[in-house]
Amino acid sequence: MPRKTTLDAGSLITPFNVISGIIILAGLILTILRFTGGLGAVTHLDNNNPWGIWIGFDLLCGVALAAGGYVTSAACYIFGLKRYHSAVRPAILTAFLGYALVVLALHYDVGRPWRLPYPVFLSQGTTSLLFEVGLCVFLYLTVLFVEFSPAAMEWLGLKRVRNIVVRMTLVLTIFGVILSTLHQSSLGALFMIAPSKLHPLWYSGYLPVYFFISSIFAGLSMVIFESSLSHRFLHHKMDETHLNESRSVTLGFSKAAAFVMAGYTAIKLIGIAMDNNWHYLTTGFGQWYLLEMVGFVALPAFLYALAVREKNIYLARWAAVWSVLGVILNRFNVSLVAFNWHLPSADRYFPSWMEIATSIFIVTVGVVVYRFISTRMPIFYEHPDYRQEH
């Protein structure tokens, strides 16, 4: 059981609190500007570029990096790898906050945000990919909330309700994996309707497969990345079980990520061969594509494999950081860099500083809420009343 900490006025004035407070204050001001002046007041979006960084980063990257929830739950409860049990709650919390912030970010991007629930509850367009994505994200966010709730119930002392929810763990995990498989792949399928706008190196009939497989190693990498940050800043909240299992979680997830990334590289090559797009590799976009694949997929996969062989935790953590950056780069390339690639540079989209600042504000809110929850609820330690269950 980690030691309890007490707060005083002095302990609240820390570099983290001051910096995050400034960012949140600035974000609230930008929020007022966005919802009083409209999209045009804070963004560089136009008819040629209706989707910007709020879709490319806040949605596509947010959903991919939140995949650690379904990956870790599946490993522990479906495949029976109980040695990863200590990683489940942090991963579920990260996924829950990630999807919640995705929904929050969509309110900024949608022209009339009060209509955001319409596709799920009122729209009859069930053949739309956006309907499928919206419905799955809505349902999976609900599943993540229920999966996370036992930690909150233990904190609040709601034993009876907590025990009921815990009995549903396997069903919730299976449902979460199904929903994640659907919407992770469908986010890639969204761009299949724009073959003339997306560069041929990134456009492929395999886009749904690419997005789904990349979400797997994105989730694995994010769990390792989140774990390294937690050990650095929240070490005092962890019990012996979490600390002892941390090494096996990092190396086990690194090994899985190395295999998945190798397979991802192979199917990307198959996609180029099937579409006979080899000649594009000699162009400027081709060099950028090779940088993404070699520098941010093949290289971290090799680093993961080396870390597992040498049992080097620090190398695995650096590989995780590199892999997370690679997933972000891929989503940016598909949604922004390689999109509308044929337009002259003057007509290409580049986000305004207010769009970037709003995204930083949303990420900061997630970090602050994660820190608040993990320092108060049994996320990195087992509640003493339930230790016998594990």
Q: Average the pLDDT over 111-132 and give the result.
A: 77
User: Which position has the higher pLDDT, 262 or 14?
Assistant: 262
| Alpha carbon separation from 343 to 30, 315, 348 (Å, rounded) | 30, 41, 6
> Cα–Cα distance between 369 and 135 in angstroms, integer?
25
Q: In the beta sheet, which residues pair with residue 198? A: 339
- CA atoms in the 13 A half-sphere facing the CB of 331: 28
Asked whether 98 and 66 are in contact (CB, 8 A), the reply is yes
| Alpha carbon separation from 341 to 197, 202, 292 (Å, rounded) | 7, 11, 17
> Cα–Cα distance between 38 and 41 in angstroms, integer?
6
Asked whether 131 and 119 are in contact (CB, 8 A), the reply is yes
Tell me which residue of 280, 277, 253, 329 sits closest to 74, measured CA to CA.
253
> Cα–Cα distance between 339 and 197 in angstroms, integer?
6
Asked whether 169 and 147 are in contact (CB, 8 A), the reply is yes
pLDDT grade, residue 115 (50/70/90)?
Answer: confident
Asked whether 191 and 335 are in contact (CB, 8 A), the reply is yes
Q: Average the pLDDT over 146-168 and give the result.
A: 93
User: Which position has the higher pLDDT, 2 or 376?
Assistant: 376
What are the two backbone dihedrals, phi and then psi, of residue 281, each rounded to the nearest 5 degrees? -70, -15
Residue appearing with tokens 């025990």: 163
pLDDT, tens digit, 9 for 90 and up, residues 310-329: 999 999 999 999 999 999 99
Q: What is the three-class DSSP state of 157? A: coil
Q: Average the pLDDT over 15-43 and give the result.
A: 94
pLDDT, tens digit, 9 for 90 and up, residues 251-309: 999 999 999 999 999 999 999 999 999 999 999 999 999 999 999 999 999 999 999 99
Q: Average the pLDDT over 85-93 and give the result.
A: 93
Statement: residue 49 has pLDDT above 90: no
Asked whether 390 and 382 are in contact (CB, 8 A), the reply is yes
Tell me which residue of 151, 200, 203, 141 sits closest to 172, measured CA to CA.
141
- Report the Cα 304 to chain-centroid distance in Å: 20
Tell me which residue of 39, 74, 373, 67 sits closest to 219, measured CA to CA.
67
> Cα–Cα distance between 325 and 234 in angstroms, integer?
23
> Cα–Cα distance between 69 and 84 in angstroms, integer?
12
pLDDT grade, residue 46 (50/70/90)?
Answer: confident
Q: Running DSSP on this structure, what letter comes out for residue 338? A: S
Q: Is the Cα torsion angle 326, 302, 225, 97 positive or negative in sign? A: positive
Which alpha helices (DSSP H) does 291-312 contain, by range? 299-310
Q: What is the mean pLDDT of the chain?
A: 91
Listed range (10-24, 25-39, 133-147, 207-221) with the worst mean pLDDT: 10-24
Q: Average the pLDDT over 130-139 and give the result.
A: 87
Q: Average the pLDDT over 41-67 and give the result.
A: 92
pLDDT grade, residue 203 (50/70/90)?
Answer: very high
Statement: residue 9 has pLDDT above 60: no
If phi > 0 it is left, if psi is from -120 to 50 it is alpha, else beta; for residue 157 that is left
User: What does the block give as tokens for 301?
Assistant: 């996969």
Statement: residue 136 has pLDDT above 60: yes
Statement: residue 3 has pLDDT above 70: no
pLDDT in the model for residue 127: 73
pLDDT in the model for residue 387: 67
Q: Is 310 exposed, middle or buried (0-12, 13-18, 19+ CB in 10 A)?
A: exposed
Asked whether 334 and 200 are in contact (CB, 8 A), the reply is no
Give me the domains of the chain, ranges plus CATH numbers: 17-382 (1.20.1630.10)
Torsion of CA 299, 222, 180, 175, to 10 degrees: 130
Q: Average the pLDDT over 224-253 and give the result.
A: 90
Which alpha helices (DSSP H) does the chain contain, by range? 9-12, 15-37, 53, 62-65, 68-73, 88-109, 118-121, 129-156, 159-167, 169-189, 207-233, 240-275, 284-290, 299-310, 313-332, 353-374
The answer for residues whose C-beta is within 8 angstroms of residue 192's C-beta and 6 or more apart is: 203, 205, 207, 208
Statement: residue 10 has pLDDT above 60: no
pLDDT in the model for residue 122: 75
